[in-house]
Amino acid sequence: MSAVPAYNTKTGDEVTDDVKDLTETTVDYVDDDNGNGHINREPESLRGLSDEEKQRLEKKLVRKMDLIILPIVGILYILNYIDRQNLAAAKLQGIMEDLNMTSTQFATAVSILFVGYLPFQIPSNLLITRFKRPGMYICTAVVIWGGISAATAAVQTYKQLLAVRAILGVVEAVFFPGAIYYLSAWYPKRELGKRLAGLYIAQQFGNAFGGLLAAAILQLKGVHGIAGWRWLFIIEGSATVGIGAICALLMPEYPHNARVLNQLERDLAVWRIESESGAAEGHEEVGILKSFGMAMKDPKVYMLIFMNMMSQGQGSIANFFPSIVKSLGYGSTLSLVLTAPPYILAGILYYFLSLWSDKRHTVYPLILMCIFVACTMYIIPMSTTSLGARYFSMMILPVSSVGPQILLFKFLNLHLARPVAKRAAATALMNAIGGTSNIWASYLYDAPPHYFKAFGTLIACAIVFALTLTFYRWFVLRENRRLDSGDLAAIEKVKRGGVTQEMVDLGWRYEMFDGHF
């Protein structure tokens, strides 16, 4: 059936131009209790249900989604971080000596992963929107990068290590932006924050578990004449291959075609997303190049990219965390064990950070708070050699340095609501270009124990991040004032920044920046 525009029955004005599927969803213009009109696109299958029945069905649906989707994505993210960060653990067990590497060469081996990882996120996230089974696409990448990680055990020279790490980065580029996009296709904005926090909690537990696992695996040093760091890559890479293959069989598709849901649940899952940002959200098709172009024309994308660049610069501490902890004076194995508590604490605090953000519907003051705490923690190791003070700062740094990234990706998915392909492109651009900080930041972590160059640079990143975030807040609040004004010329200016007419009709606004705790 061809697309038919819907009209405001009061004024006769057209309110949307992209009604795509009238076979499943009818379009009405209805009044709420205050006399304000809005579009009703609720599926016919849900209109016969009472509010109590809908709430009961939605609660059951969300529980099913959480029990199936979140554990799978969380496990895959743990594997993603273990396979990416195990080089830092291998440094403590002789990889530099075995491959005759200098400190600068090791930093290059760390950073070269991002040379492949960052640019390939963009085409990958544009491609994932074209797949009917995004879960299979993601899990296939997991299996491939697990094999590549295991193959790292066979390298004999520094150049071979660089080649393997660069290829590993290309394949791992699929996962993180793909997972962000995938979750945003399933969860509406009121639920997305806690699920994104769950992803970062998995990241931190992956870091913690990776350190403990590395400490255990490295005890195999010399078994069958194989170095401990080689066993590390063999075991962790092989585990990734097996778990990735299993997850490929279990990971659902999109809400509209998920086989784990019945038809009524599919209708509700799609409606939950459509009711926030328009009916096209569920089935809108935008070409790859067009979606990329739409993202590039949105000024918010550039600010988000720059903020993520500063935030990722702060988060680069994870790439060298075992070495930083070892600067406290402990041996290699104990240093790996001591990396676990800070990450476990970070995972716990991430949950409460996101819970508070959802409860108070805010991100701006929370990010500023994290930035202030991080700056304080950077100063401690620069100014003292006290073991207690330095380890205290190590305990707090993971959550304060990386925590803002949860909130960045949360409001990216709220502020770039339509179309879904544009959101996918923007997510990849933000993580790819923003992640370039990991390349140059890899060369900062020398001259222990104070690491003046590294921590001084991270303080500068934090300050610039805070200033940019404050400007972004002014920008989106100005856009909201234009939307509230009712002035057609002002609204047209907002639409040029990516807001659609249908979103205007739905009363959509930029959220999370009212500044209240």
> Residues 305-327: pLDDT tens digits?
999 999 988 888 877 777 788 78
Is the per-residue pLDDT at 63 higher than 80?
yes
Spatial separation of the C-alpha atoms in residues 325 and 312, rounded to whole Å: 20
Residue 224, Cβ density class (10 Å: 0-12 exposed, 13-18 middle, ≥19 buried) = exposed
pLDDT at 493 over 80: yes
Buried b (16+ CB within 10 A) or exposed e, 22-48: eebbebebeeeeeeeeebebbbeebee
Tell me the C-alpha distance between 374 and 398, whole Å.
9
| Alpha-carbon gap, residue 446 to 497, rounded angstroms | 43
pLDDT of residue 17 exceeding 70: no
Residue 360 tokens read as: 């108070």
- pLDDT per residue over 355-404, tens digit each? 888 788 889 999 999 999 999 999 998 998 888 898 899 899 888 988 88
- Tokens (6 digits) for 359: 């409860």
The β-bridge partners of 29 are 39
**Which pLDDT value is given to residue 38?**
45
HSE-up of residue 286 (Cα within 13 Å, Cβ side) = 21
Q: Measuring CA to CA, which residue among 327, 166, 165, 155 is closest to residue 227?
A: 155
Q: Vertex 387, ends 386 and 389: CA angle to 5°?
A: 65
Percent of the chain with pLDDT over 70: 88
Residue range 44-51: mean pLDDT, rounded:
82
| CA-based nearest residue to 189, from 415, 368, 405 | 415
145: confidence class by pLDDT, cuts 50, 70, 90: very high
- Roughly what angle, to the nearest 10 degrees, separates helices 364-383 and 452-485? 170
Q: Are 31 and 24 in contact (CB under 8 A)?
A: no
Helices (H) and strands (E) counted in the chain, each on its own, are 23, 4
d(CA 338, CA 391): 9
pTM: 0.72
Q: What is the pLDDT of residues 430-465, one digit of tens each?
A: 877 888 888 888 888 887 788 899 999 999 999 999
- Do 126 and 424 touch, CB atoms closer than 8 A? yes
**In the predicted model, is pLDDT for residue 161 greater than 90?**
yes
**Beta-strand relationship, 14-16 and 6-7:** antiparallel
C-alpha to C-alpha distance for 422 and 385, rounded to whole angstroms: 48
Cα-Cα-Cα-Cα dihedral sign, residues 45, 50, 55, 57: negative
Q: For residue range 219-257, what is the model confidence (pLDDT) as tens digits? A: 888 888 899 899 999 999 999 999 999 999 999 988 888
In the chain, list all ranges with CATH 1.20.1250.20: 48-274, 284-516
**Nearest CA-CA partner of 125 in 435, 425, 431, 429:** 425
**For every residue of 405-458, which 3-state class applies, written as one string?**
HHHHHHHHHHHCCCCHHHHHHHHHHHHHHHCCHHHHHCCCCCCCCCCHHHHHHH
Tokens of 39: 């579009």
CATH of 48-274, one of 1.10.3720.10, 1.20.1530.20, 1.20.1250.20, 2.120.10.70: 1.20.1250.20
User: Looking up tokens 């990386």, which residue turns up?
Assistant: 402
Q: Are 427 and 299 in contact (CB under 8 A)?
A: no
Taken in order 481, 485, 490, 491, the sign of the CA dihedral is: positive
The per-residue pLDDT of the chain, averaged, comes to 82
CB-based burial, 119-128: b 16+ in 10 Å, e otherwise: bbbbebbbbb
Write down the CATH number for the domain with range 284-516: 1.20.1250.20
Bridge-based pairing state of the strands 28-31 and 6-7: unpaired
Q: Give the Cα separation of 326 and 324 in Å (integer).
A: 5
Lowest mean pLDDT among 75-79, 126-130, 261-265: 126-130
Burial 333-358 (b: 16+ CB within 10 A, else e): bebbbbbbebbbbbbebbeebbeebb
* Residue 421: alpha-carbon gap to chain centroid: 16
- What's the average model confidence in pLDDT over 249-276? 86
Check residue 515 and give its pLDDT. 65
Please state, in angstroms and rounded to a whole number, the distance separating the CA atoms of residues 516 and 362.
7
